[in-house]
Chain A
């Protein structure tokens, strides 16, 4: 029979960890966009109004992506936190929690979108 720990380990944790990776992928994709936009800005030529529009668009997109990431981060972080609380409330930092930590249920993820 499947224990709750098993459920968390084999079902919840993979989803959370996958979600975390998805967030990272979103962040990566967002960075990729912004890098491309930066390239387009550079390629647009000095003083070109397109470059100015792209700058604004980049800022906007940054906002979008950061928005998405922030929201995703909150949600996923909430999932992590909830699961942490779920486990912690249940196990009181037993070995199960430690094992849960091992399988990746750790702390809320912190997303920062940087365009370097």
Chain B
């Protein structure tokens, strides 16, 4: 038995007890204050709402992908709460035991002090030692003892104390150990319990206190792609490791072009090289945010834009890489194979040559790179590795069964970062951009998405809707016309039935009377005559009924015919009505203010885009065989795509596609619109114009604000272009200063226009604005191209605003001369367009009008202020302030102000449909007359339908 109680272990134990109050406090916080799960649930709940507004093929995947977050955060909450409870129990135990320990420590220290004074305390009775260390002895003063006896004391108290302290210490320590063990066990049970299904790669876990940069995986390469890539050749036939000297070259001040080229291709393997030529600083950037968009873009190129351009894309890649196989693919005559082979190219299958069998491995590796690793957030549109691969596979499936996964190639080219090379090559492919625009609309097929889309002009559905509205209007009109006849017919049928009934009643009564009088034969005759009359009336009723049905069906036939015409579409190059040669369909609609306006919808706006859009709408329902036929048919559409694509033949193709002036001739009035006072569009000379123009008729019903929106003339989003325009306009301003300036009434609420008739020799210079180097494209700096490629210049021939307006472009450097022109300022007046003509071009020169002429654009026609306005217009506009002076002198009476006629140009009034309807109307009328005539001749019914004859 030791002589003293060990103190240090007690102190150590107390120290290990820590601060129980703080433990309990922390435990409470953990038990009650953990919000990770709550927040995770909030995130999940919020995220799921995306399904109500985010419509895309990946929506379900995107929404579902958040679920593990909730699971994991709930796990965190559960675990933390469990740990909190364990800590709380532990803290409560310690809270009790720690003071006991401290008390025991004091007692032990006291005991030890006493024990030190009594080395023999372990004996039941022990001598008392004096200061000299010798046992003391009793003296005479001591009672109960004999003097001289050694003095002894009873040690039972110390024994007891020793036992008590020791026991209490043991108990305390045991309880503490048990509490600790329980707590540790509880904590351990919540540790690493969910990491088995972690989405993170295995590795050392983060330690509390570590900074992000110290976290496991920080700084580690995501993949060993370098070794893999180093084994093979890049598409240029060189080792990927060759990039090192290239980097060196660039870092040493190599050309920007080299950097761009390197950047463009290295992005595909998740490498981005940022080099700032102004500072010479550079850095490499690795990971998903680089490779993801590039590969996603490439996948989309091959999948979704495969129809006309993937051959060209493959060809382009083939040219760039010198890969003859790709070039052959590009030259392939079978578009289905083109799609498939190009997909194979992207997925790395079956491509001998530069990419070799490494292609697939490379693609796979790139995909892995593209998958976000620790600390890397996001890859375009896909939530995880399976998502991306799944999306690509799904894309392949879509191709296989005629599906469609869309994006715009210009986005793709931007994503690819191939810019001048791949991107512009792709952009030059015939028919390319039209397809991309169709693709753009694929998600519009979701009926649950609100529409129309104000910034996406190709809302063909909306167009169809409007046409159908027009058709319905026509049908209503037909029904109105027929309703009078129908009413008469129905009345007449009823009247004849009544007449039949009356004849029968009268005959029966007369017959009864005759029989009562014994005149049986007469009674029989009366009934027979009545029967003959009613029989004749039956014939009439039948005729009337047929006539009524004929008329009744007319309205629905009109509607059906109109719908059929809308749906089937006519030859885009023959005009909307085929027979009359009239292009476009005028129909009445209402503007935002409820004013009735006439809008022209031209056939050119529907074809070829609409035909293909229609195909696209049906795309998901097609079988692979049908899809193949569609693809084949698509390739045969005129002027769009010659699959035997070759640079030598491409130019004329591009030229052809780009020269579709929408039937414009020298008699067509065109308009060049500029925003806010930027009316100097004659900057190539006094008699030339260039830039984007539209047919005046297409713009006629628009207010200034409407035009500015629809043509997206607010160049604020195109700052570089705007600045460029300013520079280009400057010579024009200078040249015409004093003649065109100052513009009268030019304000922020108006636009300026040049309305002109193109010179017949220059018609060919009008082109649809398909993005192309034929349009002076190469003259634009890259950053401007980026801007120009966006709306409103969609490269489709349709402007980018809310209302679809066909537009053409006159290339810079060429220009179109005009024979007649007016400089016009259009502004808004009570919601209507008001135009002020301030300059006219006649006889080869511009004349500034001393007194500008103001017109109102009402229902598609210009109304001069001196012409008596319809009352409703006067009411709406008030008295116009217009000036007529100088009209004759300026030759204004010759100004071409033709606008589409209205009302009568309702959709169904065209071609065969109208003839058919007219024929049916005539036939119905003929049958009606015939029925009436038959009855009249029989003398059995009145000659007039109204019964008054």
Contact = CB atoms under 8 A, between A and B. Distances in A.
B790 to A, nearest CB: 3
A93 B80 contact: no
A43 B384 CA distance: 40
B374 A62 contact: no
Interface in B411-449: 411, 414, 440, 443-444, 449
B348 interface: no
Interface string A22-39: 110110111011101111
A68 B40 contact: yes
Interface in A64-80: 64-68, 70-80
Given A26-B36, A61-B76, A40 B208 contact: no
Nearest to A83: B54
B76 A108 contact: no
Nearest to B454: A3
A112 B30 contact: no
B716 to A, nearest CB: 7
Contacts of A57: 79, 83, 187-188, 190-191
Contacts of B76: 30, 33, 61, 64-65, 68
Interface in A35-91: 36-68, 70-86, 88-91
A62 B209 CA distance: 10
A90 B66 CA distance: 26
B27 A74 contact: no
A39 B378 CA distance: 34
A interface majority secondary structure: helix
A60 B794 CA distance: 53
Interface in B1-50: 12, 15-23, 25-27, 29-30, 33-36, 38-40, 42-43, 46-47, 49-50
B913 to A, nearest CB: 30
Nearest to B37: A29
B54 A12 contact: yes
A5 B72 contact: no
B19 A68 contact: no
Interface string A1-33: 111111100011001001100110110111011
A114 B211 contact: yes
Contacts of B65: 71, 74-75, 78
A43 B66 contact: no
Nearest to A82: B381
B208 A59 contact: yes
B200 A58 contact: no
A64 B377 contact: no
Contacts of A33: 30, 34, 36, 76, 80
B52 A47 contact: no
Interface residues of B, number: 117
Given A40-B27, A50-B90, A74-B384, A65 B36 contact: yes
B62 A75 contact: yes
Given A74-B384, A78-B378, A86-B56, A61 B80 contact: yes
Given A43-B19, A83-B54, A67 B207 contact: no
A6 to B, nearest CB: 7
Pick the most buried of B29, B30, B69, B375: most chain A CB atoms within 10 A of its CB. Answer: B69
B310 interface: no
Contact of A74 (B73, B180, B383, B440): B383
Given A56-B191, A74-B377, A95-B716, A108 B289 contact: yes
B311 interface: no
Interface string B390-415: 00000000000000001110110010
B198 interface: yes
B451 interface: yes
Nearest to A62: B206
Contacts of B383: 74-75, 78
B35 A25 contact: yes
Contact of B35 (A32, A64, A71, A95): A32
Contacts of A46: 15-16, 18
A54 to B, nearest CB: 6
Nearest to B12: A47
A74 B378 contact: yes
Pick the most buried of B12, B374, B383, B714: most chain A CB atoms within 10 A of its CB. Answer: B383
A91 B195 contact: no
A53 to B, nearest CB: 4
A86 B196 CA distance: 35
A40 B53 contact: no
A55 B184 CA distance: 11
Contact-size category for A: 35 or more
Nearest to A10: B53
A32 to B, nearest CB: 7
B453 interface: yes
A108 B382 CA distance: 12
Contacts of A15: 46-47, 49-50, 53-54
Interface string B785-828: 01101110010000010000000000000000000000000000
B294 to A, nearest CB: 12
B75 interface: yes
Contacts of A77: 372, 377-379
B34 to A, nearest CB: 6
A59 B205 contact: yes
B140 interface: no
B364 interface: no
Pick the most buried of A33, A40, A116: most chain B CB atoms within 10 A of its CB. Answer: A40
A46 B376 CA distance: 37
B60 interface: no
B289 to A, nearest CB: 7
A112 B23 contact: no
B455 A4 contact: yes
Given A33-B36, A49-B180, A85-B407, A92 B789 contact: yes
B46 A19 contact: yes
B773 to A, nearest CB: 18
B456 A4 contact: yes
A85 B292 CA distance: 12
A45 B16 contact: yes
Nearest to A25: B39
B411 A63 contact: no
Interface string B843-865: 00000000000000000000000
B35 A96 contact: no
Interface string B710-726: 00101011000000000
Interface string B251-293: 0000000000000000000000000000000000000010011
Contacts of B198: 63, 67
B452 A22 contact: no
A7 B450 contact: yes
Contacts of B193: 60
B208 A64 contact: no
A75 B69 CA distance: 9
Pick the most buried of B211, B293, B375: most chain A CB atoms within 10 A of its CB. Answer: B375
Contacts of B443: 86
A94 B800 CA distance: 10
A66 B921 CA distance: 76
Given A3-B452, A3-B454, A115-B208, A93 B43 contact: no
Contact of B380 (A5, A6, A81): A81
Contacts of B212: 112-114
B30 A48 contact: no
B632 interface: no
Given A44-B23, A74-B384, A82 B29 contact: no
B23 A40 contact: yes
B68 interface: yes
A82 B47 CA distance: 14
Given A26-B73, A33-B30, A94-B455, A60 B195 contact: yes
7 contacts: A25-B43, A39-B26, A45-B17, A56-B192, A64-B195, A66-B215, A72-B43
* 4 shortest interchain CB distances as A-B pairs: A77-B378, A45-B18, A108-B378, A43-B22
Given A53-B184, A75-B62, A93-B790, 7 more contacts: A7-B449, A34-B208, A50-B187, A78-B387, A79-B62, A93-B787, A95-B717
